[in-house]
Amino acid sequence: MINIHSCLLLMFVFFSCSSPVKKEITTGLSIQAEEYIPEVADKINEISGLLIFDDHFWGFNDSGGKNELYGFNKSGKIKVEVELDDAKNRDWESITQTDKHIFVGDFGNNMGNRDNLRIYKIKKKDISDKDEQKVDVKEIEFSYSNQERFHYFDKATPFDCEAMVAFKNNLYLFSKNWRDRTTWLYQLPTKKGEYEIAATDTFNVKGLVTGADISPDKKTLALVGYENYVSYIWLFTDFPGDRFFEGNSKVIHLKGIDGAQTEGICFLNNDTILVSCEQTNAYKQQVFLFDLNKLSDATH
């Protein structure tokens, strides 16, 4: 007998595939990487998420790292270390913010076997300018409503996630779907609690999404990712409400950093994007700048 969750998932996929074509998809664009912070302190050798707050850039390491956020300057030097009290870094992957809070996503799930997915919520007013400090957190716990088994072959699960944005009093998660290189969109409240979430939309990004951010004017969603370590950004504009994938979309090849493992993304302003890369054999941990005013035609 087919259970109800399987039926719901099949219906979701059917209607997603048969829905009207989105407004516009623009391909064949590229943009040149520019060095912005050529080397970040060795203590943050992954920079799995990237945020700008209180005149600092903020990053952290992912699985196996400490339960700490690091605020660093334009020279890549760490100025502030913030420990999240009673938190664990099982696999931190994304960071986002509202006017009053910062959210850290502990939801990396390459094996698809985690049953302890959560987001840590921090009050901005609790972060001071002390070199080292500890802050209290609240936990937003969640699970995927259509996940019935918790074991997949390594890097074959659709229930991995590395990208999150805060928008209009909600959190939005974008999956890193190892199975078919799409991304699924999920919505979560920003309040402490336990939630079961279901995908509300899907988009064929043709790769692995590793980060997300919303522009300061809230008009552009950016997703960063890669396929075979060729990095790209998807931009979504003119979307109705929070239905990001129903807006205009364009994919942009990030020239000059092929082979890099792009992880974090944040808007420096409405027309400029920063992307962080973790340390690999080919690259140091660093931050690149992409000026959207310099888009040019290319093959993607």
Task: Specify the pLDDT at position 25.
Answer: 62
User: Domain limits of the chain?
Assistant: 24-297
- Ranges of the chain whose pLDDT falls below 70: 1-27, 297-300
Give the model's pLDDT for residue 222.
98
User: Dihedral of the CA atoms 37, 40, 44, 46 (nearest 10)?
Assistant: 50
pLDDT of residue 12: 41
Query: What are the pLDDT digits (tens) for 30-65?
Result: 999 999 999 999 999 999 999 999 999 999 999 889
Q: What is the dihedral of CA 97, 225, 106, 155, to 10 degrees?
A: 170
Instruction: DSSP for 96-153, please give it.
Output: EE-SSEEEEEE---TTS--S--EEEEEEGGG--S-SEEEE--EEEEEEETT------S
How does pLDDT run across 84-121, given as a tens digit for each residue? Answer: 999 999 999 999 999 999 999 999 999 999 999 999 99
* End-to-end CA gap in the chain: 43
Q: Which CATH class is domain 24-297?
A: mainly beta
